[in-house]
Structure 1
Amino acid sequence: MLSKRMLLPIMLLPMLLLALGWSSAAQAAPCEPDASGWQPTRYYTAGAAVFHDGQWYQARQINEGKEPGISFDWKKLKAAPECDSAQTQKQQAAEKPRTKTKGTAGTGNSNPNLCQRPEQWRFAESYIVGSLATHGGMVWEAIRPTNGDMPGMKEPPHWRPVEDHCSLQLDN
């Protein structure tokens, strides 16, 4: 038979576990629609949740300007997501890269005065602001971070045509 000394910890253990479960559930409350509204000029990281047109959406990948509900970049959620600290971080806009890359990187040419045509645009390549690529016989400059967005597409524009890429200042 169990003594009273042994019975007390056994009785307290379920109460302790129950209290810990409640405190962790209280930390993860549903997200507020007003604080999570979609903004077309904001960058969203993969997993970020937004509220748009009465519906919750989750970003499948980093994006900006792609409206939830009409593009593959967003997945419709059945209910409001829980806003714990990890979700709050995902909801914050992704920082715009501050590094500008002008000219052609990685060509092995150490002479910055020699102008060369940028590499061909690749679907699987990620480009930062200021990156140059050749596509359709033209040179294009990335005006926002892009991954898989073809130069010349309008929704939203990620590239601008460059008339004379050799006149651009090269960063050393």
Structure 2
Amino acid sequence: MQFDSLDDIRAFCRDLPRGDQRLADSAARRQQNLTKPRESLGRLEELAIWLAQWQGREMPRLDRVTIAVFAGNHGVAARGVSAYPPAVTAQMVANFAGGGAAINQIAKAASAELCVVPIELDHPTRDFTEAAAMDEGEFLSAVDAGYRSVPEDCDLLAVGEMGIANTTTAATLCAALLGGGAARWAGRGTGVD
């Protein structure tokens, strides 16, 4: 396991590499010199500059794009917070594997590799209304699974998740981190809960 303790994660996060501002500035200047109206590509220009900064090259590339979808079951689903039973999580993972989900088509259109990571589907987290959803070891194991799923030579990583009761879990997390108003925003319908 990459992380043996929460302190390992904290140390890792404190020591993350910084993007190269010099390359971001160079990419921004390049945008101004291209034959097009200034800022005509809107967010695409901002994204190209951001990618240049974090990829460490003035001309960013998207040769290897990975979409990682993490799937897990939330114990709070036992409270009936979702229109679907927890068994749907495994069914959706099977649908991803079979190429039948919307994310499969998005990945195909983007020439991206789709990586689906089921995490302990037979062992949902605990109901967070009654106890901590995960103990430290379970949390470290989940973080480790995420860390190990990122390819080293990936040009861009897009991350998603799937799991029945995920909207409830996300809304509660947002409320805890940002306050009650965030829970109302995060809890808006997003499709399969």
Same fold (TM over 0.5): no
Q: Which of structures 1 and 2 has the larger relative contact order (alpha carbons within 8 angstroms, sep 6+)?
A: 2
TM bin (shorter chain): under 0.3
Q: Which has the larger radius of gyration?
A: 1
When normalised by structure 2's length, the TM-score is: 0.23
More strand by share: 1
